[in-house]
Structure 1
């Protein structure tokens, strides 16, 4: 990949998009991970106002420190960047306490994980409305279009997606080219929604390079190793299960003969 050329292409794409919109700048959530680090740096390079928002909810300390270090880097190098921290732990706990008790057999863990992401989305759009800004997405190609590894109307609720045509290894290459700090480049990818240090690979059961392979695979399955078969099965299962995230929202179209009956 021509890293410098891709960086410049995305920067100009973001700049052109904002210049042709009624908005004045960008808002992005910074998590301490590689995707938000790269996306925020690309947005900063446009010269348009960029507000970086930290939104901890029972956040692991390593994620908080990486996010803060990255924002410090941006503010030191780009005068158009500002930041704000919104501590959302109490907001999350208040909402959690208002929810009904579980019925027998229900498991609320994943529902609450997605709730965290949706609270953060609402927070980003508050600042976007306040500043006439666009919310910048941080999803990569494998997450957004391969396995649907994002929260619908959470981190999937954005106005534009600068890195969604890049797989994770390409995002890391851009990060190195953009000067993203080593703590982020070397950290294991995590969605940061669980309040602990579990990684994306812990949740998915496969690494991003493995998923990238599976996303592109079209060969002879009989020649695959046991692990390759396992990864392919993981990819296909998640891809099928999460099509509702990837595909446009279904609209019930009313035929004229029904509407006018």
Structure 2
């Protein structure tokens, strides 16, 4: 085990385990679904106005952010959740760059005149989704999976479980066919975010892009979208397909397996 690996491992309070990562993922899904169900606002009505956006989505994201931060601190997993030991080849970063272009198209096509102060404030809360969903899947879940699995499985399972998180929308008012399409797109999107983590060596950039992407998708559907709004979705789908093609290049040769020793009682 390299010196870098030893340094990272000894800073962990709790030894990474696959079941811990899966439990965090399941716990997050349950908490978000429960809070959104409690709001009484169907998923299809999120964003009708400032109130439905904040209470339908924003409150669950705030609670999720707090719980994930506490969990990462108790486990001592902040560093491996946020940073890889080494980044992959840089060139596949063009894939998340395409998603960033799609996000900019959405923002440029948004009817900003339809915004009021309340809706803008509620929309800004949506940026937290970048932290919560990335920290859950390509953060803490990833740390748990890297304790035993190769990086190919880490990519596939983090992307698949990220996609399956969206199945709950079918129980919140969205029709099943639309939900299944959303799950498929989420798998491709999760692959794009994984590529961004590997090419930069940090989850932080994936958090930023993820938050801005979700913000832009809600923004462009509010009011009357501009004539080029459809191209945002098209460019994003192209990015997802290309991500599936090039993801092998960011997996190949990676050495991110966490061979952590037993948990230490020392508080990091």
Query: Which has the higher Rg, Structure 1 or Structure 2?
Result: 1
TM-score scaled by length of structure 2: 0.28
TM-score scaled by length of structure 1: 0.28
More strand by share: 1
More helix by share: 2
